[in-house]
A and B are shown apart, each in its own frame.
Chain A
Amino acid sequence: MDAEPKPSTSKRAGRIKRGRNFPRVGRGMAIFVLLVPLVVSLFSWNAARQQAEDRRQETFDHLVAESEAALLNRTAAYLQTLKAGAGFIAGSIAVSRPEWRKFVDALGLATSLPGIKGIGVVDLVPASRLEPYAAEQRRLNPSFEIHPAAGGGEHLVVRYAEPEASNRGIVGFDIGSEDSWVEAALLARQTGAAALSDPVGVGAASEFMLLEPLFDPRLPIATQAERQAAALGWLFARFPADGYFGALTNDPGEMTALTVYQGDQPNAGELVYSSLDADRQGTAERRFTVTRQLAFMQKSFTLVWTSTPGFEASVASMLPELILAAGYLFTALFGALLMTFARQADMVRRQVRLKSQQLAAGERRYGDILAKMMDGMVTINERGLIESFNPAAERLFLYRAAEVVGKKASMLLPPPYRETLEGDFRDHKATGKAALIGSRRELEGLRKDGSLFPLELSISEVHHGERRFLCGFIRDITELKRMEQLKSDFVSMVSHELRTPLTSIRGSLGLIAGTQTGALSPRVGQLIDIALSNSERLILLLNDILDLDKVASGRMEFAYTIEDLGKQAEQAAIANRAYAERYRVELKPTQIASLKVRIDAARLMQVMSNLISNAVKHSPEGGTVEISVARANGRARLSVVDHGEGIPEEFRNRIFSRFAQSNTTLTRERGGTGLGLSIALQIVEQLGGGIDFSSSTGNGTTFWVDLPIADEAAAAARVPAPDRRPAVAGLALARVLYVADDGDFSRVLEAALSGSARLVTTTSLRDAEWLLQGEKFAVVVADMTRPGGLGERLINDPQPLLDAAEIPVLVLAAANGLPPLNQEIELVLVRSHVSVREIVRAIAKLIEPEAGESKWAS
């Protein structure tokens, strides 16, 4: 069958081409394949025909042999009959006619020898004894008469011939008048054996005479002369040719036809007998012919057997034709089948070609996209090996695809990231999950030449059938980083450059407003106030722009501490009270719950101040702004409520955008930068919280900040997620726990320690204990400046410290309240006697006793 190539999913052009060439081979093949059954069926047909012919020939030969045997049998029977007659006669030469009749009757000629027409006795009568012989015979048979009258020395006279009915005319016949009979009779006498005469008469009516010589038994008959002397007469049998040659076998179907010629050749002139009709003799060209020369009774014959249509019909075999027909049929069916297959194959081939083209087109399109993609794309298998590497990736990393395909993907990253990525691959292989999947992160890439460049990597998981692999998109963010840096530099520069002239303006105005009020007219004083407040607004704007730049670029550092949100809110209320009073707005803390949150207090204060000042700005004179802290949806919620005009509908959806300010009279009057909420949003998100608002026109606005409650946040911090790695240098800094009653000095200390250590401030013993259990601190600073305060309680009941015995404790004491010396306390400083710098130095020494002070402020 057609070796149709399997529909290949390969998209290579070469395979398609091979597929296209195939039909030619297929057609030749098909023809060959069709010829085989055809030739085989023809061959089989021929063989079968040959075999049938051979079998017919065999059958025919058999029939001929039967016929021949029958003829010989018949001849032998004739001879036997004559010999029997001769014996009968020889026993009694003077056998009487009735006796002879009786004998012939006993032979039963009609049944046993149907060909014989008559059988009789011929007497040899010398001319001299002809008369007495005739008289003698007439005495016995009155109608006996010798005829025809003939001369000559000897007369051969038929004495008897039976059966009488068919032989009446021949009794008394002198056969000497019939040359062919005489010839045969004389031959018989000469040879002493039966001889057959030539046929007398024509066609079917022609008659043979078989003559058996009779000799005087008393005389010798060894020689021809003795036989002539002893000859008495002959016994004869006469039979017609068709009686002799016809109906040789019981051949009802008339399978064979027999034609008999005298002599050794089948000469038409010597035709003796033919079973065929006269008009068909010699003309019909029969299929089977057997010719035999036979000699019997001293005569030779040529016998020609031919097959008859009957024979041909009887032995005709349908087998070869059936075979041929079956062969044709098979070939035809096979051809049809081939055509069906060919058509199907063609269809499949066309489909394959179409699909291949579509696939190739898709692949090309896909390849084009990959090739023209600006971002590098690297596919990575489950073992972390690179499978593909697009041209953009080649440009980024300076590797050719061939150089990296099959190699570890992590080779594209420098060491700190390399191990991270390999760890992620292992995680992914083991669990099917990894921190890097689906995330977008900024890393550094390692080029072939060893140089590094900043990149943004996002990895997604792709499933393709059973397989899953990772697809990494790489974007070179060198330019982005440069632009960010440029922008930050610009923002910073602008901020700085504007600050210098502002310093003079604000200083001058402040000085005038602060010292010269009496010397100014009220109008000038008012103008000075306007100038002063606007210069202050400009400063706020500069601060906000700087903050926004930092928080947006992720460069704002957060110093997390566990704080009571309620307390923070109260502090914010206090800090902003002066501002509120300026607009005759009352700040009213209501419903202040005590909820622990993990925050950067300074940043949260910035957010709260922003929300409070916004609320104040939008409150009517004499109005109130309510501040509350409560648990909401499992989080700590700080709410700031005003009863102003509400946020205009059209402004609500961009309230957190930069430079968004509602165009209301109050806002214009009271100022604002339009950046506050944008910064607040970013800070709150950094703190892991959310910010939102509700507002109804005319009824005021509520802003709220939701923050995770510290228990949960701390739990998350204590079990660090696997992807949380010390990417930020600050995280690696030593931590200093500051235990004090208020956070005022902590900010001074925090600023002084900044860059060297991280200060964590707590204002509760329980928190201190909890923090010491959960996190590792290098130093604990206990502030004992307030009598009976937190620091003192910690030193007097150092249970939390016992849990962390190896941590050195520094006590900041009041001059009149030195702590009792005990093992836990490493160092005591009197706070009023030392500078912040000294405290920082002391902390540094506790953290790193051996290290020099180079790293620290000196």
Chain B
Amino acid sequence: MGELKSVLCVDDDKDILEVARMTLEVVADFDVTTCSNGLAAIELAREINPDLILLDVMMPGIDGPMTLKRIQSDPKITSIPVVMITARVQHHEISKYFDIGAAGVIPKPFDPMTLHLELKAIWKDWQVPETI
């Protein structure tokens, strides 16, 4: 299936977006596209078809879970794994995102040096065939 190469980062906080972009570009040499809201994320995803979407939960307008739902219902991009990135890091909050179909959850603040490893692991898990 190849390697994880392109990531779409979505966050309303420009600083975080920049740190994430730099982290993934510098450390992992990913192709990183960024945008700051859910609607733009869906548009971009349809346009560039990234390998993975890193999606912030709390955003103005349509938030992370709602964006996820739209991605899931869009046949063109439904197979792209979506990893939620959130400051709400409590156990029940994290499991909630798994419940609605997130491929993984990255708590904020993240370690910039290992973020790409986590994303790779999640991406790999996502790629395996569902059942024998």
Taking beta carbons and an 8 Å cutoff, which residues of A are in contact with B? Answer: 492, 495-497, 499-508, 510-511, 514-515, 535, 539, 543, 546, 550, 557, 751-752, 754-756, 828-830, 832-838, 840, 842, 856-858
Contact = CB atoms under 8 A, between A and B. Distances in A.
A668 to B, nearest CB: 24
Interface of B: 13, 15-16, 18-20, 22-23, 26-27, 58, 87-92, 94-96, 98-101, 103, 108-113, 125-126, 128-132
Given A503-B108, A511-B19, A557 B91 contact: yes
A550 B109 contact: no
B20 to A, nearest CB: 7
A511 B109 contact: no
Nearest to B14: A504
**Taking chain A's interface residues, is the majority helix, strand, or loop, or is none over half, making it mixed?**
helix
Contacts of B94: 751
B88 A842 contact: no
A503 B23 contact: no
B104 to A, nearest CB: 9
B95 A752 contact: yes
Contact of B27 (A515, A830, A835): A515
A810 B99 CA distance: 21
Given A514-B27, A830-B132, A857-B98, A500 B113 contact: no
A829 B109 contact: no
A840 B95 CA distance: 12
Contact of A752 (B16, B98, B109, B132): B98
Nearest to A543: B89
Q: Which residue of B22, B99, B111 has the most chain A CB atoms within 10 A of its CB atom?
A: B99
Contacts of A833: 128-129, 132
B19 A499 contact: no
Given A502-B109, A510-B113, A546-B90, A858 B101 contact: yes
A830 B103 CA distance: 19
Contacts of B130: 834-835, 838
Nearest to A831: B128
B87 A832 contact: no
Given A835-B125, A835-B128, A550 B90 contact: yes
Contact of B87 (A503, A557, A834, A837): A503
Nearest to B26: A515
B88 A492 contact: yes
A539 B109 contact: yes
Contact of A510 (B18, B98, B108, B111): B111
Contacts of B88: 492, 496
Contacts of B19: 503-504, 507-508, 511
Contacts of B18: 504
Contacts of A837: 98, 101, 103
A510 B112 contact: yes
Contacts of B91: 557, 751, 754
B59 to A, nearest CB: 11
Nearest to A506: B109
Contact of B13 (A495, A500, A543, A842): A500
A542 to B, nearest CB: 9
Contacts of A755: 92, 95-96, 99
26 contacts: A500-B13, A503-B19, A503-B87, A503-B108, A503-B110, A506-B110, A507-B23, A507-B109, A510-B112, A511-B113, A514-B112, A535-B109, A751-B98, A752-B95, A833-B129, A833-B132, A834-B130, A834-B131, A835-B103, A837-B101, A837-B103, A838-B131, A842-B131, A856-B99, A857-B98, A858-B101
